Amino acid sequence: MIVDDEIIIRLGMKTIIDWGKYGYEVVADAVNGQDALEKIEKYHPNVVFTDLAMDIMDGLELIEICRNKYPNIVFVVISNYNDFENVRKAMKLGAFDYVLKLKIKEDDLKSILEEINKQFPADNKQNLEMGRIIRKNQQAIKTRIIHMMEEKTYVSVAEVLEELKIIDVSICLNQPFAILQFSIDDFDLYIMNGKISDVHLQHFAMDNIITELLSSDFVVEGFNYNEHELIYLIQTNVIGDYFVLYERIKSKFEIIKKCLKSYLNIEVTGVLSRICDGVEDIHLALKENKNILYQRLPGENGMLHMYNDGSRKEIRMIKEYIYNHFAEELSVEMAAKEVNMSRSYFSHIFKNHMKMGFTDYVNTVRISKACEMLHNPNIRIQEVSFAVGITNCNYFSILFKKLMGCSPNKYRESVLKKDELDVLGNISKE
């Protein structure tokens, strides 16, 4: 397990070394000590790499708690140059070793892992093998379930939901969701050229990166679909509007694509399904995704989609107008006039089609655009608020938290910025 509040460090450590080569797998990662404790209980790691300086619960407190509760866990500290005093405290608490955060190399990690295996050979081998079997079985169950939903071979929806509950799936299939499918480009060539020698390990590495980057904005659950495809069920508070969802997924996809290329040297194509309202819709959604992927033209990759809006022309016109003029003053009266309808009739058909009122939809678009802007650390929160058409900054913060579940500042802290990706991409190639 890797514990660090910086996403760049977590991703870097996951991909800088072939963990399986040395008999290990990264079973989970965490953003602070409290998060780590919850995941330790669930995944039972026998080695934990942890940062020391973190909010909510720091690494020292994590080590101290685990020393009593999980005495068999081996801790390795991830430290900065100026953190030697805390490193010393961690070693006194029983930490096994430490690595410098900005100088992490494969050889350093290899040496530490080999030394751990020397000192705890029997326990480590047994625990690693048991953990590997549990995770493999769980993924096999998930693969079987996704194919069962695709082929509609289940007896009842309740049967599917019960099976998913057993393996602790986080997404709720009783609420609207979409399916994001990733396909490895030129997979056969990768296999022939020996670039992918272990498909299971490749999937594991891909899933770590994809889940890490998607989960900052969405509730996600990943499934191994086949040798060259991964599937993610996605839930979010903007799921009611396909257009807004697609735009958010598309911007996130570009980051994912860059990471997969930098860390794993693979190219992927993505396709976003129609919005599903339950288990019964998965069959058609996956069929449509497959048709889009298999019928695309040579060289056509990137982010594809199934646009299934189904709304009447007037509604589509207004949605497009809102998306292009979200920073301006918008009203129901203006919208109704734009499509030559009365205010009351327009409000009625808009809510009927969109399952939300006009103002709620405008706010959804504005907050979606704000999320994009918050990826830029040089733009102040107040500037973002004004740029999306909300002149009251307090109201902007309240609305943002209502829709996204956190403040604009917290959201900004959680996203991966482009300049950090560039730095990490360069480090991984050294």
User: What is the CATH number for 31?
Assistant: 3.40.50.2300
The reply to whether 140 and 21 lie within a common domain is no
Of 76, 95, 119, which marks where a domain is finished? 119
Q: Are 265 and 202 in contact (CB under 8 A)?
A: no
Please report which confidence band the pLDDT of residue 299 belongs to, taking 50, 70 and 90 as the band edges.
Answer: low
More confident call, 341 vs 23? 341
Lowest mean pLDDT among 160-174, 219-233, 360-374: 160-174
* Cβ count within 10 A of residue 87: 20
CATH code, 327: 1.10.10.60
* Residue 423 is assigned to a structural domain of this protein: no
Provide φ and ψ at 35, rounded to 5°. Answer: -60, -40
Give the Cα separation of 278 and 235 in Å (integer): 12
The reply to whether 99 and 190 lie within a common domain is no
Give the Cα separation of 1 and 39 in Å (integer): 9
Strand 2-3 relative to strand 29-30, pairing = parallel
Range of the domain at 29: 2-119
Element housing 183 (H / E): strand 177-184
What CA–CA distances, in Å, run from 312 to 306, 359, 365? 17, 19, 19
More confident call, 47 vs 313? 47
Give Rg (Cα) of the chain.
Answer: 24
Q: Are 364 and 319 in contact (CB under 8 A)?
A: no
Residue 73 has pLDDT above 70, yes or no: yes
Residue 238 has pLDDT above 80, yes or no: no
The reply to whether 265 and 324 lie within a common domain is no
The reply to whether 210 and 80 lie within a common domain is no
Q: In the chain, helix, strand, coil percent, each to 5?
A: 60, 15, 30
More confident call, 401 vs 320? 401
Give the Cα separation of 129 and 51 in Å (integer): 26
* Cβ count within 10 A of residue 144: 13
Residue 428 has pLDDT above 50, yes or no: no
pLDDT value of residue 397: 93
Alpha helical stretches, state H, 167-298: 187-192, 199-214, 242-264, 282-294
> Which residues, 6+ apart, have CB-to-CB distance to 162 below 8 Å?
none
pLDDT tens-digit readout, 1-60 = 999 988 878 888 887 777 777 778 788 889 899 999 998 988 888 899 999 888 889 999
Give the Cα separation of 366 and 364 in Å (integer): 5
Give the Cα separation of 405 and 106 in Å (integer): 37
The reply to whether 99 and 148 lie within a common domain is no
More confident call, 158 vs 295? 158
Number of helices (H), then strands (E), in the chain: 19, 10
CATH code, 297: 3.30.70.270
Of 271, 305, 339, which marks where a domain is finished? 305
Give percent of the chain with pLDDT exceeding 70: 83
Lowest mean pLDDT among 7-11, 158-162, 200-204: 200-204
The reply to whether 134 and 234 lie within a common domain is yes
Whose tokens are 């809006």? That residue is 309
The reply to whether 276 and 332 lie within a common domain is no
What is the number of structural domains in the chain?
3
- The gap between the terminal CA atoms of the chain, to the nearest Å, is 24
Question: What's the one-letter identity of residue 223?
Answer: F
The reply to whether 341 and 227 lie within a common domain is no
pLDDT value of residue 390: 94
pLDDT value of residue 377: 83
Residue 423 has pLDDT above 50, yes or no: no
The reply to whether 142 and 166 lie within a common domain is yes
The reply to whether 12 and 76 lie within a common domain is yes
pLDDT value of residue 129: 56
The reply to whether 103 and 69 lie within a common domain is yes
* Residue 429 is assigned to a structural domain of this protein: no
Give the Cα separation of 64 and 145 in Å (integer): 40
Element housing 271 (H / E): strand 268-276
Of 305, 340, 355, which marks where a domain is finished? 305
